[in-house]
Amino acid sequence: MSKVRVGIIGAGRIGKIHADNLLRMAEAQIVAVSDLYANEELTSWANARGIGLVTTDSSEIIGHPDIDAVFICSSTDTHVPLIIQAAEAGKHIFCEKPVSMDVNRTKEALEAVNKAGVKLQIGFNRRFDHNFKRLREVVEEGRVGDPHLVKITSRDPNPPSPEYIKVSGGIFMDMAIHDFDMARFVSGSEVDTVFAQGAVLIDPVFGELDDYDTAVTTLTFTNGALAVIDNSRRAAYGYDQRVEVFGSLGTVAAENDYPNTVTVSDGTGVVRDKPLHFFLERYNEAYIEETKMFVDSVLYNRPLPVEGFDGLQAELIARAAKQSAKLSRPVKLNELA
């Protein structure tokens, strides 16, 4: 194999981002794209990029003999059946998070992948961020010793629409799931127990939809270490994405990224611009990197940087968090089995 031939399933915002990143790689070629709502606009988008086949039918992609790998970027409810079909067709799979909202369904998908011996990478793009990747390296090098405490701040600039909230799976499954993966990633540890507190402080619509807009989740790892994650659906100053790992020998912290380093000092104080606005700006390079590593993994049969198991664990933690917030008590992951 000299190039990975890719089919994109789901051509929304994130599908198009992956497509554009793949197009910049000599090691990849996009053969086809499918979308339930494929129209002339999508066709002209595909043409401009030299993508020959546009279809509304994902099975055309999965059944395509000249496709080695699929990117599943369609809505969450379609992930499991698509993974199973793709695995059975012997395709390697990149799937956006979460695999599903139902842990048992996710397990089914993972089994199919396992049985077929194909690769499945989950879209936890933040692992590829220049800051968090460096932070993980520092932890791995042992420079902060044994991790005692992971602290994650993860806040969005603006809440999604009520329509999106309804189908999102809630703040833990939709938003905090990235942070649950981050906690495992930077600490290299597995979670035992989850305690989550949710609040509705930004917009009552979250409460009406049985969701929260603000949350604090604490995790206990199996080795006794702790993690604490705070989430908000609206930070007035933009996207806030910070991680700290405190350990026996010190602490390592990644601060936000800013659009520039300029400060203005005048009679009122010292001012700098707000952090990079949202995930497209902040994680632009991370999206490129995760795609590149998937392609390399397929092409050179290298280990995946994020596997199906990682997707499953994050979902388990999210489910436990949701339950914990509801029941007002800590929930152990093995209660969910």
Q: Which residues bind a second copy (CB under 8 A)?
A: 24, 26, 48, 130-131, 134-135, 138, 143-146, 148-149, 151, 153, 155, 195, 197, 199-202, 214, 216, 218, 220, 224-226, 228, 230, 232, 234-237, 240, 246, 248-257, 259-275, 328-330
Residue 117 or 267: which CB sits closer to a second copy?
A: 267
Residue 5 or 151: which CB sits closer to a second copy?
A: 151
CA dist 67 and 70 (Å) reads 8
Q: Closest separation between CB of residue 138 and a second copy, Å?
A: 6
Q: Closest separation between CB of residue 315 and a second copy, Å?
A: 23
Q: Closest separation between CB of residue 209 and a second copy, Å?
A: 17
261-266 contact pairs (CB < 8 A, 24+): none
CA dist 98 and 76 (Å) reads 7
Residue 96 or 240: which CB sits closer to a second copy?
A: 240
Residue 76 or 232: which CB sits closer to a second copy?
A: 232
Q: Which residues of 221-248 are buried (b: 16+ CB within 10 A; e: fewer)?
A: beeebbbbbbbbbebeebbbbbbbbbbe
Using the structure block, give the residue that is written with the tokens 């010793």: 145
Given a contact cutoff of 8 angstroms between Cβ atoms, the answer to whether 195 and 217 are in contact is yes
Q: Closest separation between CB of residue 247 and a second copy, Å?
A: 8
Given a contact cutoff of 8 angstroms between Cβ atoms, the answer to whether 55 and 46 are in contact is no
* DSSP state letters, 132-171: HHHHHHHHHTTTT-SEEEEEEEEE-SS---HHHHHHH-HH
Q: Closest separation between CB of residue 50 and a second copy, Å?
A: 12
Residue 131 or 168: which CB sits closer to a second copy?
A: 131
CA dist 310 and 11 (Å) reads 25
Residue 236 or 337: which CB sits closer to a second copy?
A: 236
Q: Closest separation between CB of residue 188 and a second copy, Å?
A: 15
